[in-house]
């Protein structure tokens, strides 16, 4: 039986672990903190715009486990807000437990507070990884889903300091790149102006700290839009990692989404200024706690990888999520984690690796982002199924659709129906 070790328990790592065990592997999932999902603990947005297409492509291919969990734990479905259609908002309180129980039920071994600090390499293959407590984990293939956010020194050097976000670096230690520990060269994303990194694009308000009227609108409609008086407007659009939300409406309005918290679609907003807006007089931040000052910085230490999501320079290391490039969002993390998990088992069994065809949005995105990141201009952009550069490409190529039967037919015609549901075996 193939032994797979996944390092990083965010959306991508969870997807990789699930798909690897479905392919027949023995899977160990190492998570730096004491909870899974990473930024997904305070996320919540699924299926908006082209993410609907991507999610249904993965479901048709048998990689829809996490999308189905999000659907089952949705607070709101088919909501609309500026620039975005048919979004689903999952409940941030219920979803973590549902994912945790699902993963445990599959027999995946989860090791919490396992911050990997050492990688052993022989003949260009990883033999084992060791965490800060001295525990060593051996495997046939490894998956780096450690993300690209932080640690604190990056947030201080390139952002507004540690904002005390859900990643909790001061408590559990900062993110450590497996590829970096193995001595591989990595990439750093830039903003269009050439400065390093990008800031997380939203923060979360304690919903009960807002006016009863705002709470009611959030609870019933899922979205609340409050115009900002001209003298209180703050423009942080250019620093956002999530460029799909860098629209003019997000500067001139407070746009809130109900994920359990009130998700404020701005990287940060000065608390004193926010409290001058009617309905926000008693507002307080839940994530990051210093959301009036800044947010986490992201897109450091991305791996050089091929379109199988194998990391270049090692025989048995794969990557997913933001480690795989300038892809933004939970859907994008699940997509890449799914392919990385599947191919890690193929690698361990000595099988040919799977590349998703460019006929599908998910395959085209993986290929397109790799090509774009080979250029200086491309490194200054961010890519997502839900907006900005890549969603425009989806529409131009005729890939964007909400017709589920059409998506299923395309996947079937490519002989990929349920490919991620099948147990793999040596030929």
Q: Which residue's structure tokens are 């940060």? A: 268
Number of H helices and E strands in the chain, helices first, is 15, 20
Sheet holding 253-258: strands in order across? 223-227, 253-258, 262-264, 203-205, 285-287
**What's the predicted TM-score (pTM) here?**
0.96
Give, as one character, the DSSP assignment of residue 34: S
95 three-class SS:
helix
- pLDDT tens by residue, the chain, 427 residues: 999 999 999 999 999 999 999 999 999 999 999 999 999 999 999 999 999 999 999 999 999 999 999 999 999 999 999 999 999 999 999 999 999 999 999 999 999 999 999 999 999 999 999 999 999 999 999 999 999 999 999 999 999 999 999 999 999 999 999 999 999 999 999 877 788 999 998 999 999 999 999 999 999 999 999 999 999 988 776 654 555 556 678 889 999 999 999 999 999 999 999 999 999 999 999 999 999 999 999 999 999 999 999 999 999 999 999 999 999 999 999 999 999 999 999 999 999 999 999 999 999 999 999 999 999 999 989 999 999 899 999 999 999 999 999 999 999 999 999 999 999 987 6
d(CA 417, CA 423): 14
CA neighbor of 331 nearest in space, from 103, 67, 49: 67
First to last CA, the chain: 14
C-alpha span between 363 and 371 (Å, rounded): 13
Cα–Cα distance measured from residue 87 to residue 348, given in angstroms and rounded to the nearest whole number:
38
What are the structure tokens assigned to 259, written together? 């994920």
User: Which pair of structure tokens corresponds to residue 386?
Assistant: 């839900």
Please give the C-alpha separations between residue 27 and each of 16, 18, 77, 78, in angstroms, as whole numbers. Answer: 9, 8, 33, 35
Q: What is the pLDDT of residue 25?
A: 98
Distance CA 103, CA 30 (A): 13
Q: How far apart are CA 90 and CA 99, in angstroms?
A: 12
> Which of 325, 156, 328, 323 lies closest to 240, judged by CA?
328
- Helices 92-105 + 11-22 axis angle, to 10: 30
Q: Which residues of 396-419 are buried (b: 16+ CB within 10 A; e: fewer)?
A: eeebbbeeeeebbebbeebebeeb
50: Cβ contacts below 8 Å, ≥ 6 apart: 361, 384, 385, 386, 390, 391, 394, 395, 399, 400
Q: Determine contact, residues 361/394, Cβ cutoff 8 Å.
A: yes
Nearest to 348 by CA among 172, 199, 195, 138: 138
**Distance between CA atoms of residues 40 and 92, nearest Å:** 8
How far is 182 from 176, CA to CA, in rounded Å? 11
Q: Residues of 140-175 as b/e, b for ≥16 C-beta within 10 angstroms?
A: bbbbbbbbbbbbbebbeebbbebbbbbbebeebbbb
Question: Residue 327 has what pLDDT?
Answer: 94
Beta bridge partners of 148: none
């Amino acid at each position: 039986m193939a032994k797979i070790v996944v390092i990083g328990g965010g959306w991508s790592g969870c997807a990789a672990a699930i798909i690897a065990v479905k392919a027949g592997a023995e899977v160990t999932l190492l998570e730096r903190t004491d909870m899974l999902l990473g930024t997904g603990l305070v996320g919540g947005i699924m299926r908006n715009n082209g993410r609907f297409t991507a999610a249904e492509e993965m479901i048709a291919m048998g990689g829809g486990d996490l999308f189905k969990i999000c659907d089952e734990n949705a607070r709101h479905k088919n909501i609309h807000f500026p620039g975005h259609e048919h979004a689903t908002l999952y409940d941030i309180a219920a979803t973590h437990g549902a994912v945790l129980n699902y993963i445990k039920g599959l027999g995946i071994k989860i090791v919490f507070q396992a911050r990997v600090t050492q990688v052993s390499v022989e003949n260009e293959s990883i033999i084992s990884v060791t965490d800060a407590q001295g525990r060593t984990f051996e495997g046939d293939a490894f998956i780096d889903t450690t993300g690209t956010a932080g640690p604190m020194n990056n947030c201080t050097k390139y952002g507004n300091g540690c904002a005390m976000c859900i990643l909790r670096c001061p408590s559990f230690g900062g993110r450590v790149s497996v590829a970096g520990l193995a001595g591989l060269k990595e990439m750093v994303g830039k903003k269009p102006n050439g400065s390093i990194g990008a800031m997380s694009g939203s923060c979360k308000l304690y919903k009960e700290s807002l006016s009863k009227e705002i709470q009611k609108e959030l609870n019933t409609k899922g979205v609340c839009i409050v115009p900002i008086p001209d003298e209180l407007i703050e423009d942080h659009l250019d620093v956002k990692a999530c460029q799909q939300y860098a629209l003019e409406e997000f500067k001139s309005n407070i746009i809130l989404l109900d994920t359990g918290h009130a998700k404020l679609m701005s990287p940060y907003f000065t608390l004193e200024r926010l409290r001058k807006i009617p309905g926000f007089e008693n507002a307080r931040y839940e994530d990051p706690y210093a959301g009036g000052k800044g947010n986490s910085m992201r897109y450091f230490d991305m791996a050089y990888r091929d379109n199988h999501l194998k990391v270049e320079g090692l025989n048995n290391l794969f990557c997913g999520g933001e480690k795989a490039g300038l892809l933004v969002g939970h859907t994008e993390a699940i997509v890449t984690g799914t392919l990385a998990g599947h191919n890690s088992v193929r690698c361990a069994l000595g099988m040919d690796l799977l590349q998703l065809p460019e006929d599908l949005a998910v395959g085209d995105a993986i290929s397109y982002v790799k090509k774009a990141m080979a250029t200086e201009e491309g490194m200054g952009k961010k890519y997502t199924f839900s907006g900005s550069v890549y969603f425009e490409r989806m529409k131009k190529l005729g890939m964007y659709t909400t017709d589920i039967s059409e998506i299923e037919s395309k996947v079937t015609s490519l002989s990929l129906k349920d490919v991620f549901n099948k147990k793999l075996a040596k030929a």
